[in-house]
Chains A and B, each alone.
Chain A
């Protein structure tokens, strides 16, 4: 308990430092946020043009598709906002030997790396995701129950951990290979599949994004539960289980990786 309190305190202090840093580079952060907003806008424009020519996509209405799309941006945005420093581990921190710093500090290395930076650019994604969900919800005629509201919100942190767990595991590969940035990139590309309903894919792809690289549980399955109320045990429960399993795998690989870390130079 005391341990958790201390971690939260340190996390708060790191965030405060990051906010101070942002004040020094205000313009840059606005540019970054607008950049990410624009990427999302161009994807929406794409959906909008497509839907101007067809009534529905394999039985999904435009609002349902945008709801799933928006829901997918929320956990992705949170992970991106809070834990993006893992990405730099795969790209250069290990290769340049800068990981030394973390090992000489009396706190857990993974925790230290995860909370050290805040990637404010991600607000572009996160805000867009929240906006899309809010705009589409009223037109979806969902039967609301207390359980739906609770589960729909509670699943978000777990969906976030699916991203984080995969990022920990893939960035930790750099402890052996020196750089793993593009492995992370590849996994993120797989994540593009998760922005749309899994029913538009063939069985092989559907199976992969459900059981192999389970990005479908970050958005499609939870969103499906909110839309239909079907099978909460599978749609929500499995998201929770998978997120925990992925985090455990990520942490195991990370801890093994630290033993293999070779630093750099002399």
Chain B
């Protein structure tokens, strides 16, 4: 369905020399340096899948999405959707995709919402009868009825986002790109939008590529994640694979009356491991110990803790995906600082 092979994008950035003299120099002799935004990205997406495309700020996510949607021309490598290549035949390529950029709208700002759909119908050449059916369907899924006659500039952010998603789906695209579709929305609206995306994916087999910083989007919608950082693939797999690969982190929660728990327990010394592997946080009586279960088995951890101090209400938890990704991002940043 979607093939991305060795995608690379370089930008030229002019370097400004300091001072007035520098300004003059760069006016006549502009110096530029090469910035590699996307180094080497490859992945595939089968039909009907929802792919979570994630990475820290500046990782190159948006650049990849813009290449996949035909906005940017790749420096090298290629991407195809259903065998079509955006740089070769942009017009027929973009007919197969729908795009929503959360920070931008493609709606006609000063006109009632309905007008936007009327224009998009012509641009995408949607026949009259299909258009009416489609609008009825989108209205049912995204509940546009209450504001379809209001000018777009008067819509709330949540309404605008629903309207934008509907606009991107009007021509029944095979692939839907959603760049931060829940940014700035409240919990209820986020939920509505996730449900709508899920519904469309299930009923129409629409392939969805989703970038977001809200991992709840990913957890509720996508089974598979592609994570990139500094323009390169970092991880490609299902959420459970992510958990089993990086998710050896467990959290031990308990309450205790013992003062100075950290010194009393001294995990690092006892197990002969470094402070990175095990961290302890206390908040009054409650204690949270985060540890890597592949180094210290859960059973050892439990028996040692229970034997050492008086404990109430003990429990062991999987670290959630957010925790894993936070660690991965942080690791990336640390690597960068070292280099």
Contacts and interface: CB of A to CB of B under 8 A. Distances in A.
B57 A266 contact: yes
Interface in A1-18: 6, 9-10, 13-14, 17
B111 A105 contact: no
B24 interface: no
B311 to A, nearest CB: 46
A145 B46 CA distance: 70
A200 B11 CA distance: 49
Contacts of B118: 13
Interface string B110-154: 110001001100111100000000000000000000000001000
Contacts of B92: 106
Contact of A259 (B73, B103, B124): B73
Interface stretch (B94-102, B291-299, B315-323): B94-102
A13 B122 contact: yes
Q: Which of B62, B66, B99, B111 has the most CB of A within 10 A?
A: B66
Interface stretch (A95-103, A160-168, A245-253): A95-103
A261 B104 contact: no
B94 A104 contact: yes
A123 B106 CA distance: 28
Given A100-B71, A103-B90, A106-B124, A21 B57 contact: no
B76 to A, nearest CB: 14
B97 A20 contact: no
Nearest to A176: B12
A21 B94 CA distance: 28
Interface in A240-266: 258-259, 261-263, 265-266
B206 interface: no
A24 interface: yes
A19 to B, nearest CB: 11
B247 interface: no
Contacts of A9: 122
Given A17-B111, A106-B124, A266 B91 contact: no
A101 B72 contact: no
A4 to B, nearest CB: 15
A111 to B, nearest CB: 11
A107 interface: yes
Given A9-B122, A100-B66, A266-B62, A17 B108 contact: yes
A25 B99 CA distance: 30
B110 A261 contact: no
A13 B124 CA distance: 13
B325 to A, nearest CB: 18
A173 B66 CA distance: 21
B38 to A, nearest CB: 12
B72 A262 contact: yes
B123 A106 contact: yes
Contacts of A261: 71-73
Interface in A59-104: 97-98, 100-101, 103-104
A108 interface: yes
A20 B94 CA distance: 28
Contacts of B66: 100, 263
B177 to A, nearest CB: 9
A97 B106 CA distance: 13
Nearest to A266: B62
Given A266-B57, A266-B62, A104 B110 contact: no
Contacts of B70: 103-104
Contacts of B22: none
B289 to A, nearest CB: 37
Given A21-B111, A24-B110, A263-B72, A14 B119 contact: yes
A6 to B, nearest CB: 8
Contacts of B61: 266
B184 interface: no
Contacts of A258: 73
Contacts of B182: none
Contacts of A259: 73
Contacts of A106: 91-92, 94-95, 123-125
Given A17-B108, A100-B71, A266 B123 contact: no
B25 to A, nearest CB: 17
B172 interface: no
Nearest to B105: A101
Q: Which of A24, A101, A106 has the most CB of B within 10 A?
A: A106
Q: Which of A21, A25, A108, A265 has the most CB of B within 10 A?
A: A21
15 contacts: A10-B123, A21-B111, A24-B111, A100-B104, A101-B104, A103-B70, A103-B90, A104-B94, A104-B99, A105-B124, A106-B124, A263-B71, A263-B72, A266-B57, A266-B58
Given A24-B111, A107-B91, 10 more contacts: A10-B123, A17-B111, A20-B111, A98-B104, A101-B106, A104-B69, A104-B94, A261-B73, A263-B66, A266-B58
